[in-house]
Amino acid sequence: MADPNATAPIELAGMFLEWQRIEDAKAELADQSKALFKAAKDKGYDTKAMRAVFREKRVELDASAEDVAKAEEAEAMNDLYRSALDRGLTARARPAHDARENIEEFPSEILSYSQSGLSYAAEKGRGEITDNQESAGPAPDFTSLALSLIHI
């Protein structure tokens, strides 16, 4: 029976030589890849875009059906968040006069306001008071009220 202490250094040396061969092959392949993308750049291609598309295509070709389903689900979720963020940023950056134009298009029943027993409703551009208790004053300006509700 062979002595494990005697064979381990020989095995380790063999693994080192194999690792060294692999590293040399990787370096040669990296040089070939650089040459390929340099030639593409010299011909006017966008190499950054090429690399991104090549990576995506490699993943696509190597992916299983389960991986594809997970990637599609992740992309759908990303699209959902992108569109929500775009809507949020667009709404936030909208000038006040645009918001006022949108408010004036709302149906009259949306522009209703109740406070301490008084019900105010916007009817044809005028505020009407329906007194549940007693009148406390004139109807509020509904455009200002609606604008304040949007910015809450």
pLDDT digits (tens, 9 = 90+) for 25-52: 999 999 999 999 999 999 999 999 999 9
Distance CA 112, CA 152 (A): 16
8 φ, ψ (degrees, to nearest 5): -60, -45
d(CA 87, CA 97) in angstroms, rounded, equals 18
Distances 7 to 1, 3, 96 between C-alpha atoms, Å: 11, 7, 82
Q: Tokens 């190597």 identify what position?
A: 62
pLDDT digits over 57-87, tens only? 998 888 888 888 888 999 999 999 999 999 8
113 DSSP β-pair partners: 120
Question: Which residue type, as a one-letter code, is found at position 52?
Answer: A
For 72, phi and psi rounded to 5 degrees? -65, -40
Q: Which residue has the higher pLDDT, 145 or 69?
A: 69
Specify the pLDDT at position 123. 43
